[in-house]
Amino acid sequence: MGGKFKIGGGARAVFFALLPAAAAAGAMAIPAMIAAAGALSFRPSLVRQGFESRALWVLLLLAFTAWAAASAAWSAYAGHAQSAKLVATMVLGLLFAAAAAATPESRRLTRASALAAFVVMALLLAVEALGRLPLNRAVQPDQIYWLVERNPARGVVVILGLVWPVAGAAFGAGRPQLAIAALFVGGFFAFQFDQGANVVAYGFGLGGFIVAYMAPRFAILLVSGGLAAWMMAAPFATPLLLANQTLVDRLPPSLAARAGIWDYVCQRIAEQPWIGRGLDASRTVTDTIMVRGAEAPAIQLHPHSASLQVWFETGLVGAALAALAILAGGWAASRALARSPFAAASACATLAAYGLIANVSFGAWQEWWNASMLLAGAVVAAFATRSLRDGR
């Protein structure tokens, strides 16, 4: 038991040591890293503890993952390796998260390692932002600039998952200067690398942080309930929003393109609403749409909305399981953190920021994105339990 724990702790320490470079380089290595650390952290008591303390939302999340993976059976997409990658990322990522917050010793390791990773990551991303991507361009000298820029932009997404627990812990420890510095770092990078979604996500996170500090349980329930409600309502509410042509005409080009995709996807969802079209069926769409007078792909790899992608590919069954998992997780967090305002603020801000990003940016099954969410959850849990379990 002791040997396995030391191996797991060492693996997680190595993960955090490598995290800054992996994030700045585009975050694509994070899934393999978190899976390896999660596998090396495995022990039966960890699984038992996870189910005993958080059984409902864990079961619902695993049920959703299993359904999404099973939907590959009726998908037109030939790359069915995605099922195995999705299951591996979720299961091993959950093991990583559980181990990171399992004991006082592991929580201290996670907090120290995450703080160090946050600082080093900020330094690397600052070099990229202020020096016009010298590190990434050295690795990809012949690549188009805006394509290279996507690498540190994904790194910003990773750092936006760490800024809230770091700031919350600093406020809770009576170090407001450090907390404000962390929030400044997050805000600064949100405006870098030409990603408007990161800016809005930071604003949502900051709002969630403030509201949750004042009303911990209410804020977490509000955000988790809102995300779950949108998961269920997205195919029906989106066409109503897009019916306002004046609003659509005022959207920036990137959002206008997304609006066209969302309108198309909502129409296709209505054709096969119960079980969806199968995992990664979005990749098989060859239709085109008109966006401001120009022809464009109806779906560019994925719908740029996790809620619509879940509906499109896994149907009502998948959407209901996902919404229930969000609700159960929010309920559990609201109860656990009701008397810990800074911990609640960290959890709520992370949920708000990542919830916004999920619904406007990345594919629902992208391994680096799922691994980043699990990483953020692990760090939030390790910092949140400081006052609850460690007596600090």
d(CA 247, CA 260): 13
**Can you give the residue ranges of every domain in the chain?**
2-231+304-389
Per-residue pLDDT of the chain (392 residues; tens, 9 = 90+): 444 447 999 999 999 999 999 999 999 999 999 999 999 999 887 777 766 666 899 999 999 999 999 999 999 998 678 999 999 999 999 999 999 998 899 999 999 999 999 999 999 999 999 999 999 999 999 999 989 999 999 999 999 999 999 999 999 999 999 999 999 999 999 999 999 999 999 999 999 999 999 999 999 999 999 999 999 999 999 999 999 888 888 888 888 999 999 999 999 999 999 999 999 999 999 999 988 888 999 998 999 999 999 999 999 999 999 999 999 999 999 999 999 999 999 999 999 999 999 999 999 999 999 999 999 999 999 998 654 444 34
Contacts of 372 (CB under 8 A, 6+ apart): 27, 30, 157, 158, 161
Contacts of 183 (CB under 8 A, 6+ apart): 163, 167, 206
- Report CA-CA distances (Å) from 311 to 228, 268, 269, 315: 13, 10, 7, 4
Question: What is the CB neighbour count within 10 angstroms for residue 196?
Answer: 14
Q: Where are the alpha helices (DSSP H) in 101-215?
A: 104-130, 134-139, 145-172, 176-190, 196-214
